[in-house]
């Protein structure tokens, strides 16, 4: 009997270990792999193509809800759960490929799980009916909270003679149907959905959206059933006791089942960096990650898709300054840091170095931390965090604080300095792995308790030893001009330790200067049926969020051009740099523009033609460039203007030659005259 019990207990261990909310002593860093309207930046193939680079720095990547939502969407108006994975970020094949590639590189993919509410497509209660692996899953009005949408759902149910479920166990949200998690059917469908995400698509864990909308106990219930490796809830509340209560509320049999985003920590950083008052970082109650009983369950962050600045009409609550400093503090503290994609893109080199420092010190989510400076001086603050290999010191604000002699500064920027304790015993170099456009200078630093410690390095990926590699002293700078794998270590008493590896891809070709160019954006006439807009407005902003035509609803467009008997409204813009782009919302203008506007059209860098199509909440937009642009701006070789290149164009050129009546349209080869050479050019176009 004893042997049987022991065997059973051992068999249960993996499940019990997984069902702990978040791993203990976890050292990984997570990337929020999207931002609001990041449709082009975070297409699944584009994210997959970055797997090698991401794997060096991130163990987890959180991506948007990945199923179809009925149109262009960030995924928070979830519609399908089992059967349709063609989202605004790519199709199911691309999604699976990305998740598998990430897995092969050591990256786990975190699913954005939206189960507080669900979108309906046929009236208020018409949810998709989906069959997965022979089982059909469906929801009805009885799966909707009876107080959904402040009573509007109940009024609609009464009108239709339908019944609703029980009252919401959390906060009501006006917009889509709040699901009744007391419903056995809802629980069954959610459990099957979560298992499909893990066991079929290959996600390793969940980010639960809007967990204020239902009782924490349901997150616990679902995690015990699905057993994800990672779980974090978006319980959007900056009050620390409330945040702790939610974490405790996920317990099953006394065991916490989910981590939480550390909003308390986020707001602490926001106030410090935005106001340049660094003493705000000090004191108790500043974050879940600072409480010994909860730091394991703290997923720390400084920005996300809800707090970020989007545009002048959606400014939200962003970190407005000292972004690098905010990330330096984030990455030097306990908890599991989640880096925001926009910050990663804009400050990649420095964030890479910050993550290296965290890795070298061995910081985990449960590391001990304490302040090192006078918290009464608002101009600076310093915090030390103890890792498994060393300590990292974040000196924030002014340089009035003197870093102790037992530390070596390895990284600095506006209002921050990071230092590693000399006990870390490691080599350090001034450039992270990555691609560089031209030659780079790399400076070596010895982080060691041994005064005058040497370093030794190689550039061919071989291991540096006392007899293999180039020996340099602390502070030496070398210039690298070619691709290489640099390995560097401390050389002390003939032994090499603390070896680091950096891979450099260095461009040796001159960079082509960017030539500004113009693009024209056309909109197929929406003033005729079926839309019948009274006018056309373009609301435009660029990649830096600069507005081009005033506040909403923007500029009334009057310029038009006809093609194929159809009117098109248009406006021309200048593309001024390589990474520059334009964004648009089209509307009917006037005081009712908000009810007659399109979804956002983003990252436009070339002349394009759009058509306003169906309306649900916002009109969708179809790209019809290929269909109409040749007629709007002409087709090379279409001399007679009939929309195609054919024998008729050859005849038109011959007629011009015979009648000595050439036109610019006949000069196909661009030599400023109309000759048989233009006939041959048209023949070449036809044959090609």
**Above 70 in pLDDT, residue 272?**
yes
Pick the last residue of a domain from 420, 442, 473.
420
Are 415 and 434 in the same domain? no
Q: What is the pLDDT of residue 660?
A: 82
- For 440-552, where are the E strands, in sequence order? 440-447, 454-458, 470-472, 477-480, 484-492, 495-506, 517-524, 537-542
Q: What is the pLDDT of residue 374?
A: 65
**Above 60 in pLDDT, residue 379?**
yes
**Above 60 in pLDDT, residue 5?**
no
Are 7 and 110 in the same domain? yes
**Above 70 in pLDDT, residue 432?**
yes
Percent of the chain with pLDDT over 90: 74
Q: What is the pLDDT of residues 98-140, one digit of tens each?
A: 999 999 999 999 999 999 999 998 899 999 999 999 999 999 9
Q: What is the pLDDT of residues 221-266, one digit of tens each?
A: 999 999 999 999 999 999 999 999 999 999 999 999 999 999 999 9
* Full residue range of the structural domain in which residue 573 is found: 517-632
pTM of the model: 0.78
Quick count: other Cβ atoms within 10 Å of Cβ 660? Answer: 7
CA dihedral 388, 389, 395, 399 (to 10 degrees): 170
Are 573 and 676 in the same domain? no
Separation between Cα atoms, residue 224 and residue 508, nearest integer Å: 54
Could you tell me the CATH number of the domain that includes residue 587?
2.60.40
Q: What is the pLDDT of residue 1?
A: 32
Separation between Cα atoms, residue 46 and residue 505, nearest integer Å: 19
> How large is the average pLDDT for residues 481-503?
97
Are 451 and 565 in the same domain? no
Is 294 among the domain residues? no
The helix/strand/coil state of 366 is: coil
Q: What is the pLDDT of residues 657-680, one digit of tens each?
A: 888 888 777 777 777 788 888 888
Place of tokens 């006939």: 679
Are 603 and 621 in the same domain? yes
Q: Work out the angle at residue 74's Cα, subtended by the Cα atoms of residues 23 and 35, and round it to the nearest 5 degrees.
A: 65
**Number of structural domains found in the chain:** 5
Q: What is the pLDDT of residue 14?
A: 41
Q: What is the pLDDT of residue 545?
A: 67
Among candidate residues 480, 388, 468, the one with its CA nearest the CA of residue 439: 480
Is 153 among the domain residues? no
Is 212 among the domain residues? yes
Separation between Cα atoms, residue 358 and residue 59, nearest integer Å: 13
- pLDDT-wise least confident of 218-227, 275-284, 369-378, 569-578: 369-378
Is 660 among the domain residues? yes
Are 111 and 216 in the same domain? yes
The helix/strand/coil state of 193 is: helix
Give the pLDDT band (50/70/90) at residue 16.
Answer: very low
Is 204 among the domain residues? yes
Q: What is the pLDDT of residues 53-64, one digit of tens each?
A: 999 999 999 999
Are 584 and 569 in the same domain? yes
């Amino acid at each position: 009997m004893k042997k049987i019990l022991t065997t059973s207990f051992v068999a249960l261990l993996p499940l019990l270990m997984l069902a702990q909310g978040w791993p203990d002593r976890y050292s990984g860093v997570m990337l929020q792999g999207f931002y609001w309207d990041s449709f082009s930046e975070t297409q699944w193939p584009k994210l997959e193509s970055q797997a090698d680079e991401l794997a060096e720095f991130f163990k987890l990547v959180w991506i948007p809800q990945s199923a179809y939502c009925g149109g262009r969407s960030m995924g928070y108006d979830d519609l399908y759960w089992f059967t349709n994975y063609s989202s605004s970020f790519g199709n199911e094949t691309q999604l699976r490929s990305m998740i598998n590639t990430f897995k092969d590189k050591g990256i786990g993919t975190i699913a954005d799980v939206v189960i507080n509410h669900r979108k309906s497509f046929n009236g208020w209660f018409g949810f998709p009916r989906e069959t997965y692996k022979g089982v059909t899953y469906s929801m009805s009005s009885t799966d909707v909270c009876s107080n959904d949408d402040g009573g509007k759902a109940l009024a609609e149910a009464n009108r239709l003679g339908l019944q609703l479920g029980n009252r919401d166990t959390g906060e009501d949200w006006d917009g889509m149907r709040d699901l009744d998690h007391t419903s056995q059917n809802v629980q069954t469908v959610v459990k099957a959905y979560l298992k499909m995400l893990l066991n079929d698509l290959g996600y390793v864990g969940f980010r639960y959206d809007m967990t204020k909308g239902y009782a924490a106990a349901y997150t616990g219930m679902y995690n015990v059933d699905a057993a994800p490796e990672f779980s974090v809830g978006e319980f959007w509340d900056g009050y620390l006791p409330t945040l702790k209560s939610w974490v405790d509320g996920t317990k099953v049999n006394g065991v916490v089942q989910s981590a939480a985003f550390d909003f308390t920590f986020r707001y602490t950083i926001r106030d410090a960096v935005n106001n340049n008052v660094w003493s705000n970082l000090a004191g108790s109650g500043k974050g879940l990650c600072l409480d010994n009983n909860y730091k394991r369950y703290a997923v720390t962050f400084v920005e996300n898709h809800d707090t970020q600045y989007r545009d002048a009409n959606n400014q939200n609550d962003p970190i407005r300054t000292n972004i690098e400093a905010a990330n330096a503090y984030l990455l030097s503290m306990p908890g599991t840091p989640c880096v925001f994609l926009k910050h990663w893109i804009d400050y990649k080199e420095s964030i890479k170095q910050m993550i290296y420092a965290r890795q070298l010190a061995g910081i985990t989510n449960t590391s001990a931390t304490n302040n090192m400076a006078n918290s009464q001086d608002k101009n600076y603050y310093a915090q030390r965090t103890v890792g498994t290999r060393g300590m990292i010191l974040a000196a924030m604000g002014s340089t009035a604080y003197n870093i102790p002699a037992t530390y070596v500064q390895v990284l600095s920027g506006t209002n921050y300095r990071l230092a590693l304790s000399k006990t870390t015993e490691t080599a350090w170099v001034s450039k992270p792995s990555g691609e560089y456009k031209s030659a780079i200078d790399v400076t070596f630093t010895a982080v060691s308790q041994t005064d005058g410690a040497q370093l030794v390095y190689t550039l061919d990926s071989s291991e540096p030893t006392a007899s293999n590699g180039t020996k340099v002293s602390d502070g030496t700078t070398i210039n690298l001009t070619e691709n290489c794998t640099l390995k560097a270590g401390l050389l002390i008493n003939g032994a090499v330790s603390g070896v680091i590896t950096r891979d450099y891809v260095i461009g040796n070709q001159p960079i082509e200067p960017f030539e500004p160019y113009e693009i024209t954006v056309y909109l197929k006439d929406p003033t005729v049926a079926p839309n019948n807009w009274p006018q056309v407005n373009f609301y435009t902003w660029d990649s830096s969020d600069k507005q081009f035509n005033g506040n909403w609803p923007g500029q009334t467009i009057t310029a038009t051009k006809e093609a194929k008997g159809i009117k098109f409204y248009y406006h021309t813009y200048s593309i001024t740099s390589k990474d520059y782009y334009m964004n648009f919302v089209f509307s009917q203008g006037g005081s009712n523009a908000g009810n007659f506007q399109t979804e956002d059209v983003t990252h436009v860098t070339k002349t394009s033609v759009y058509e306003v199509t169906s309306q649900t909440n916002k009109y969708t937009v179809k790209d019809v460039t290929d269909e109409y642009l040749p007629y709007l701006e002409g087709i090379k070789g279409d001399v007679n203007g009939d929309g195609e290149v054919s024998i008729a164009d050859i005849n038109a050129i011959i007629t011009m030659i015979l009648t000595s009546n050439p036109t610019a349209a006949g000069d196909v080869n661009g030599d400023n005259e109309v000759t048989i050479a233009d006939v041959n050019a048209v023949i070449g176009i036809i044959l090609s």
